[in-house]
Every structure is written in structure tokens, then in C-alpha cells.
Amino acid sequence: MSRPSGNDSSSGRESVHRAPRWRSGRPVRDGGKRTLGRITEITSGSPEETYRLGIQIGRNLPIPGVLLLRGPLGSGKTTLTKGVAVGLGLKDGSQVISPSYTLVNIYAGRCPIYHVDLYRLSGGRDIRSIGLDDFMGIEGVTIIEWSERLNRVPVPATEVDLENAGERTRKLKIRLRGVQKRRSENCGT
């Protein structure tokens, strides 16, 4: 899924472009009792790499599906979402803008893409008022920025935690929760 970055001294190979660095997933346990999923850790060195990673994620998301994004302001949630939307068939990623004020933007890829921003909402009542339960995990793909504000985490879902690790560098932790269904034939790639 990714190419080696820079000069690989062990093989003498050099890559053409720098791709995000992947660290193998490891099981995550809840209180040592059950496995919640595997975490894949990735370092992105630029917004362009974060965008390309989003394309890869979008191509592999189950449909219907839920993508939960967490991270501070400026950590790359919307940049990642632009790539995910392109991976889901949106022709122009620049159409994707943060729905901070509209709360939900809907894009037409191969399936409906619901882009939700919970930053300005507080509490379950506010979140219920946007009708999230009417579409989340039912049709298309729902991408939720500031998903830590949800009262309950939907399962199955793909979670991505983004962390600032320098001016342009981001660390991403990706975890699959629950059994991920196969892509719908009429919405998949």
C-alpha cells in the first residue's frame, strides 16, 4: 500500500516519491479482555501525503461505512477527508470544505458521502438534532470530524486519530472497530 521512502540502505533501492510510513498494526485490548481491533500507525510528512493517504482509506472503506476522525484544530482532518472523498469517487477533492457551520455536507461520489463536523455541537441533544442516526452506517459513507463528541461510538467503524508532530508532519493512528462489511457492489471500486 505504500512505497519505501528515501534511500533504503538495506536494499540499495531509492523511491521516486515519499509515501507515508506505515508501522505494522498491533492488537488493541480493552482492559486485557477483548481485542477491539488493530492499530496502524502512519507518519505523514505533508498535507499532500495526508491527502494521498485519505484516497487509500476511501478506496478501502466498507459501504455503508463510518469514518471517525479525532484530532486538534489544524491536525489535517479536512485534508484527510478530501482524499477519502476522492477515494470514494468524488471527482474534485477541492469541493470538500469543513462543515463547521453547516454541520453536514453531502457529496456525490459512487455513493453518498456525508461529511459531518461536531466541533460546534455540545451534548447528545445537539447531535441528535442534525439527524445523524438517519444516515450514519445506513447508506453511503459518513465521515465525522470531532467524533470524540459522540455519546456512543458506532460499531462497525474506522477510527483515525490525527496528531500534530511538527509544522507539516502528522501522526495518524487508524483502528478498525467491529466487523467491517464488504463494499457494496453498486458503490464500490
CATH number at residue 47: 3.40.50.300
In a domain, 96, yes or no: yes
Please count the structural domains in the chain.
Answer: 1
In a domain, 2, yes or no: no
* pTM exceeding the 0.95 threshold for the entire prediction: no
Segments forming the whole domain that contains residue 71: 43-177
Give the residue carrying C-alpha cell 453536514: 104
Report residue 123's pLDDT band, with 50, 70 and 90 as the boundaries. confident
In a domain, 154, yes or no: yes
Pair type for strands 34-44 and 170-177 = antiparallel
Bridge partner residues of 27 (DSSP): 38
Report residue 187's pLDDT band, with 50, 70 and 90 as the boundaries. low
Mean pLDDT of 25-39: 48
Report residue 67's pLDDT band, with 50, 70 and 90 as the boundaries. very high
Report residue 129's pLDDT band, with 50, 70 and 90 as the boundaries. confident
In a domain, 23, yes or no: no
Q: How many CB atoms lie within 10 A of CB 57?
A: 21
In a domain, 4, yes or no: no
In a domain, 185, yes or no: no
